[in-house]
Amino acid sequence: MVLPVKPTSGLANRSGAAARGVLAGLDPRKSGGKFRKRLLRAEPSFRILSKLWSVSWLYVLLICVLAGVGYVSLYSAGGGSARPFAGPQAMRFGFGLVLMITVAMMPPRFLVRIAVPLYIVAIGLLVAVLRMGHVGKGAERWIMLGGMQVQPSEYAKVALVLMLAAWFHRISYARMGNPLWLIPPTLMVLLPVGLVLKEPNLGTGVIIGGVGAAMFFAAGMRLWQIALLILPTPVLLKIAYAHLHDYQKARITTFMHPESDPLGAGYNIIQSKIALGSGGMWGQGYMRGTQGQLNFLPEKQTDFIFTMIAEEWGYVGGIAVIGLLLLLILGGMIMAIRSRNRFGRLLALGISVNFFLYCLVNLSMVMGAIPVGGVPLPLISYGGSAMLDVMLGFGLLMSVWVHRNSRFGEEREEQE
Tell the smallest beta-carbon distance from residue 333 to other proteins (Å): 5
- Give, for 235, the enclosing helix (H) or strand (E): helix 233-242
DSSP reduced 3-state for 201: coil
Tell the smallest beta-carbon distance from residue 300 to other proteins (Å): 11
| Candidate ranges 85-93, 144-152, 196-204, 321-329; the one touching other proteins (CB under 8 A) | 321-329
Judged by CB, which is closer to other proteins: 266, or 318? 318
Which of 87, 121, 225, 410 lies at the binding interface for other proteins (CB under 8 A)? 410
Tell the smallest beta-carbon distance from residue 341 to other proteins (Å): 8
148-187: contacts with other proteins (CB under 8 A): 172-174, 176
Alpha carbon distance 324, 222 (integer Å): 33
Tally the C-alpha atoms within 13 A of residue 82's C-alpha that lie toward its C-beta: 6
Alpha carbon distance 81, 414 (integer Å): 60
Tell the smallest beta-carbon distance from residue 235 to other proteins (Å): 24
Judged by CB, which is closer to other proteins: 4, or 146? 4
Contact 48, 105 (CB under 8 A): yes
What's phi and psi for 367, nearest 5 deg? -90, 5
Interface mask toward other proteins for 100-129; x: CB under 8 A:
------------------------------
Contact 398, 328 (CB under 8 A): no
| Greatest C-alpha distance within the chain | 71
Tell the smallest beta-carbon distance from residue 280 to other proteins (Å): 4
The answer to the question of residue 57 lying near other proteins (CB under 8 A) is no
327-356: contacts with other proteins (CB under 8 A): 329-330, 333-334, 336-338, 340-342, 345-346, 349, 353, 356
Which of 95, 181, 286, 315 lies at the binding interface for other proteins (CB under 8 A)? 315
Judged by CB, which is closer to other proteins: 85, or 313? 313
- How many chain residues interact with other proteins (CB under 8 A)? 76
DSSP reduced 3-state for 148: strand
Contact 100, 393 (CB under 8 A): no
Interface mask toward other proteins for 350-389; x: CB under 8 A:
---x--x--xx--xx--x-x--------------------
Q: Strands 134-136 and 148-150: what pairing?
A: unpaired
The amino acid sitting at 17 is A
Alpha carbon distance 399, 51 (integer Å): 9
- Give, for 321, the enclosing helix (H) or strand (E): helix 305-338
Which of 70, 212, 318, 374 lies at the binding interface for other proteins (CB under 8 A)? 318
Instruction: Report which DSSP code applies to 82.
Output: S
Which of 89, 248, 291, 381 lies at the binding interface for other proteins (CB under 8 A)? 291
205-244: contacts with other proteins (CB under 8 A): 214, 217-220
Judged by CB, which is closer to other proteins: 152, or 318? 318
Judged by CB, which is closer to other proteins: 93, or 167? 167
User: What are residue 141's DSSP bridge partners?
Assistant: 135
63-82: contacts with other proteins (CB under 8 A): none
Judged by CB, which is closer to other proteins: 348, or 386? 348
Judged by CB, which is closer to other proteins: 127, or 322? 322
Alpha carbon distance 158, 122 (integer Å): 9
The answer to the question of residue 290 lying near other proteins (CB under 8 A) is yes
Judged by CB, which is closer to other proteins: 253, or 364? 364
| Candidate ranges 139-147, 148-156, 243-251, 276-284; the one touching other proteins (CB under 8 A) | 276-284
